[in-house]
Structure 1
Amino acid sequence: MDLPHVWLWTMLLAFVLTWMIFHFNNQRKKKSMLKLAEAATEEIREGVADIIIVGAGVGGSALAYALAKDGRRVHVIERDMREPERIMGEVMQPGGRFMLSKLGLQDCLEGIDAQKLTGLAVYKDGKEGVLPFPVENNTFPYEPSARSFHNGRLVQRLRQRASSLPNVHVEEGTVKSLIEEKGVIKGVIYKNTTACQETTAFAPLTVVCDGCYSNLRRSLVDSTEEVHTYMVGYITRNSQLYDPKSLHLILSRPMVCIMYQTSSDEVRCIAEIPADSVPSMANGEMSTFLKESMAPQIPIQLREIFIKGINDGASMKVVPTKSMSATLSEKKGVIVLGDAFNMRHPIIASGMMVVLSDVLILRHLLKPLENLANVTQVSQVIKNFNDIRKRQLTH
């Protein structure tokens, strides 16, 4: 081959190689740009919250406060801002108090007539034993005792603390549904109580924390609630237990009874009843059952207070005891917390401790993220959250 032909083929080969290098570099840049575009699906718009929290109970209010302290703009939507009346969530274990202190909310237990509990008193067949709360490897910043109180009073204090921050907007309204686009939750449709009209709210992340009766949960996860028994509870007023610093557990038949101080002069009485044999409240069967079947099994030093509440006509509430395993939603831009996410038997008295622990985990994982609109990063945070809480709950 003569020199001109060699030169021509060399130039052609150089051109092809140059074009290929340019083409592959360009394709690589396009892929990189595409990944960035997918990661940041939208810019956070001015005036739009970073996070929407549905529900302002213990978990929702604590999370709103924690995230707002980290500089997030939080929009809380709560169905009813009046003080809740519950017969559950009235005992916070020492671990729960520890979580509150780590969130800077320990003072919310002050000024609500909360009572100090130092242990569990157990009664069975005329025998009695007291189990103090464990203090091994104590790293608490205070004495590791529990607290009992009116749940609604604590909830109102937590709501007040969250609302006091300028970047928290608390609104009374009922969330009707979630706004979804291509498997990503973008916000909520809700009815404002004051305006009585439906409106929308958008945020890169929505937290569903609206309790055990959550309707939104059903659109996010396929979790099955199991009802094992029912709890009937009432308050005996103008009373104090002979041992007010113990949570009293009576191993009676057919199920257990529980008694504890909810305030300095009020005692909560609870009896567990099998799900298939709940006496009627309307015709007085429940009062008769408690007085004739349960009261004789209550230790003599507690029995008078147990009966007094019934005779005084105390308002009784019957609620199901539910259990539900935690399941992550496959949809992006959303996470479920609290009793909407995971339920366990209330006799364990660990619900508030678990949700406050979850708040701390989620806050820690979200803190480094500058832009919550990065769907990929937030999805990884939610996965990490689930992995961490599983490890903590199994140790």
Structure 2
Amino acid sequence: MEQPVFDIAIVGAGVVGASLSTALARTGRRVVVFERDMKEPDRIVGELLQPGGVRALQLLGLSEALEGIDAVRTTGYSVFLGKSESVHFDYPTPQELPERYQAGTPYGSSGHYEGRSFHHGRFIMALRKHMLAEPNVTVREAVVTDLLHDANGKVCGVRATENGAALEVRAHVTIVADGCASRFRRKYGGTRTPQVWSHFVGIEIPPDAVLVRYHGHVLLGDQEPVPGTLTAGPVLVYQIGSDATRILIDVPGPNLPSASSGELRDYILNSVVPQLPEKIGSAVVAAVNSGERLRVMPNNFLPPSAQGFAADQQGLVIVGDAMNMRHPLTGGGMTVALWDCIYLTHVLGTGTSSPLPSSMAFNVPVAARDLSKWSAIRGSLLQWHWRRKNLASVINVLAQALYSLFGLPDKRLQVLRKGCFRYFECGGECIKGPVSLLAGLAPDVLLLTYHFFSVAIYSIALLFRGELDGKAKRPSIFAYPGLIIQAIVLLYTACVVLLPVMYTEVCTNSRRSPYALPFAALGALSVCVVAAALIMHS
């Protein structure tokens, strides 16, 4: 009996696979999804969904996935510097955002935009429940071993093993969404490979260990880095249910202390705990001493790549963490993934409906709706690639820049780190802009550039006023020559942190686009922003 040809085959039923298959099926596409294990996954990341991601779920018609999973409201963030200083800020209201951001209606009843934190596996199972309810979705619990190609080299489906038996399933378009450890990225994903910036060590502590209820916590050490020693990175804390709080301890660098020899345990107890607020530090010590499992996850950076243009990419789209990763410090990964689902549904759906708001929609020719004609589809995929950057580039660049600021052991970055904390203390627009970016509600790269360099200029101003440590110690006139040199070095450091990451968003496997010129001009615009910030703080 001849096997049916599906419209779309999706490899992976995680956040992307489950959401995208549901959305495409609702437009009328016949979708087959392959997942190696349909049991509830157990991971330490993908547990915090920013308001921008919640908004994406609303547009996809999947916000019910946040109900009934013991999810916890996230209404803002608290940043702690050492043990004694902290600053708190809430997510904005619709009235506090410019109309051009089109952030939509807040989820929940507070009037503010809100995020949600939860056990990752419970959220995935809720998304899969919606997927399984769609009559146009066929789910195969099978291991995909390879992709099928037709006589012209176009990807035309998958080869898999199901219950020990080999099977081949054909589809007009194949979407690979098999996560950060993708087995197909190296072969089909272009020349870029993930770079490990650090590792997260995840521990569960009691639910009442949080210091500010309904807030995500970013804990920053205030000790100067010591050459030759492993410096503690930032620590994240957020409640993931009525039964637990998650703490993620960052270990900078690509190498991790050995867990089997006790080095990792000693690092946590001797280098990390002394810099934590006492309530959280005590909870960590109790968890470690009780034998709580130390779970490890690498934090990768993988710039996005244009899809469907290489000879072996015909008929194939790689999406999610298989295509684009950023440091999870800002919790923006699922927001990027869900918005990619919205754009791809707009591009690959039947056209009868689209989750993309009308103000953000772009024209997809009727011919490009014929999934059997790849030459027509890839033009729409190029539009997706560049349109997604309005939000994805902000989240990608913000994550890498903030991690450099908060996580890398460098004395120059420590000055910027303290300056960033003091900048937040100013309140007003110094809070509203950054938190809107963090929340995934402000798809504005120029706003990110402005605030980043404003932090650099403000840090320099504090140096000259002697207020970087929160105390007024105005330096003598004889210190000014050295301070001027330090100011130049700080500006250079800020450029080195931000602009190379922006460059990775512009250069996408040398694929040219009408959107490339504005992104390439960001370097020049950044200089203008520096000048404006100098005037503002003078």
TM bin (shorter chain)? 0.7 to 0.9
Larger helix fraction of residues: 2
Contact 1:240-1:265 within 8 A present in 2 as well? no
The verdict on how the C-alpha distance between 1:289 and 1:391 changes in structure 2, with shifts beyond 3 A counting, is closer
Tell me how far 1:274 sits from its aligned partner.
2.2
The verdict on how the C-alpha distance between 1:177 and 1:296 changes in structure 2, with shifts beyond 3 A counting, is same
- Output aligned runs, 1:1-395, within 5 Å: 47-125=4-82, 126-135=84-93, 136-137=96-97, 139-142=104-107, 143-181=112-150, 182-192=152-162, 194=163, 196-220=164-188, 221-237=190-206, 239-252=208-221, 253-275=231-253, 278-329=256-307, 330=310, 331-367=313-349, 368=351, 370-394=369-393, 395=444
Tell me how far 1:341 sits from its aligned partner.
0.7
Contact 1:328-1:335 within 8 A present in 2 as well? no
The residue matched to 2:204 in structure 1 has which SS? strand
Q: Give 1:375's aligned amino acid.
A: W
Q: Give 1:263's aligned amino acid.
A: G
The residue matched to 2:249 in structure 1 has which SS? strand
Contact 1:236-1:314 within 8 A present in 2 as well? no
Tell me how far 1:234 sits from its aligned partner.
1.3
Larger Rg over CA atoms: 1
Q: Give 2:136's aligned amino acid.
A: N
The separation in 1 between residues aligned to 2:74 and 2:178, in whole angstroms, is 28
Tell me how far 1:305 sits from its aligned partner.
2.1
The verdict on how the C-alpha distance between 1:285 and 1:69 changes in structure 2, with shifts beyond 3 A counting, is same
Contact 1:115-1:263 within 8 A present in 2 as well? yes
Tell me how far 1:238 sits from its aligned partner.
5.8
145-154 or 328-337, which deviates more: 328-337
Contact 2:79-2:219 within 8 A present in 1 as well? yes
CA offsets 1:191-233 (integer angstroms, 9 cap, x no match): 11x2x12211100000000001001111212222111111111
The verdict on how the C-alpha distance between 1:175 and 1:393 changes in structure 2, with shifts beyond 3 A counting, is same
Contact 1:279-1:286 within 8 A present in 2 as well? yes
The separation in 2 between residues aligned to 1:178 and 1:246, in whole angstroms, is 43
Tell me how far 1:291 sits from its aligned partner.
1.6
Contact 1:209-1:339 within 8 A present in 2 as well? yes
Report the TM-score, using the length of structure 2 for normalisation: 0.62
The verdict on how the C-alpha distance between 1:46 and 1:187 changes in structure 2, with shifts beyond 3 A counting, is closer
Runs of 4+ deviating beyond 3 Å: 237-240, 391-394
Structure 2, unaligned runs of 5 or more: 98-102, 222-230, 352-367, 394-443, 445-538
The residue matched to 1:199 in structure 2 has which SS? strand
Q: Give 1:197's aligned amino acid.
A: A
CA offsets 1:96-118 (integer angstroms, 9 cap, x no match): 00000101100101111111111
* Number of positions where the alignment pairs a residue of Structure 1 with one of Structure 2: 349
Contact 2:209-2:279 within 8 A present in 1 as well? no
The residue matched to 1:204 in structure 2 has which SS? strand
Contact 1:229-1:274 within 8 A present in 2 as well? yes
Equivalent position of 1:12 in the other structure: none
The verdict on how the C-alpha distance between 1:277 and 1:199 changes in structure 2, with shifts beyond 3 A counting, is closer
Contact 2:30-2:136 within 8 A present in 1 as well? yes
Tell me how far 1:290 sits from its aligned partner.
1.1
Contact 2:201-2:296 within 8 A present in 1 as well? yes
Structure 1, unaligned runs of 5 or more: 1-44
The separation in 2 between residues aligned to 1:266 and 1:311, in whole angstroms, is 17
Contact 2:336-2:391 within 8 A present in 1 as well? no
Contact 1:325-1:343 within 8 A present in 2 as well? yes
CA offsets 1:38-89 (integer angstroms, 9 cap, x no match): xxxxxxx983211000000001100000000011111000122111111111
The separation in 1 between residues aligned to 2:332 and 2:78, in whole angstroms, is 17
Equivalent position of 1:42 in the other structure: none
Tell me how far 1:277 sits from its aligned partner.
5.2
Contact 1:244-1:260 within 8 A present in 2 as well? no
The separation in 2 between residues aligned to 1:274 and 1:73, in whole angstroms, is 44
Q: Give 2:59's aligned amino acid.
A: K
The separation in 2 between residues aligned to 1:393 and 1:238, in whole angstroms, is 32
Q: Give 1:236's aligned amino acid.
A: I
248-257 or 60-69, which deviates more: 248-257
Tell me how far 1:393 sits from its aligned partner.
3.4
When the two chains are superposed, the root-mean-square deviation of aligned CA atoms in Å is 1.7
Q: Give 1:265's aligned amino acid.
A: D
The separation in 2 between residues aligned to 1:105 and 1:165, in whole angstroms, is 12
Tell me how far 1:391 sits from its aligned partner.
3.6
Contact 2:75-2:90 within 8 A present in 1 as well? yes
Contact 2:199-2:254 within 8 A present in 1 as well? no
Equivalent position of 2:437 in the other structure: none
170-179 or 140-149, which deviates more: 140-149
Tell me how far 1:242 sits from its aligned partner.
3.6
Q: Give 1:327's aligned amino acid.
A: S
Equivalent position of 1:20 in the other structure: none
The residue matched to 2:142 in structure 1 has which SS? strand
The verdict on how the C-alpha distance between 1:118 and 1:391 changes in structure 2, with shifts beyond 3 A counting, is closer
CA offsets 1:170-190 (integer angstroms, 9 cap, x no match): 111111111123231111111
The separation in 1 between residues aligned to 2:254 and 2:182, in whole angstroms, is 24
358-367 or 304-313, which deviates more: 304-313
Contact 2:209-2:280 within 8 A present in 1 as well? no
The separation in 2 between residues aligned to 1:301 and 1:309, in whole angstroms, is 13
Q: Give 1:344's aligned amino acid.
A: R
The residue matched to 1:280 in structure 2 has which SS? coil
The verdict on how the C-alpha distance between 1:338 and 1:276 changes in structure 2, with shifts beyond 3 A counting, is closer
The separation in 1 between residues aligned to 2:53 and 2:206, in whole angstroms, is 27
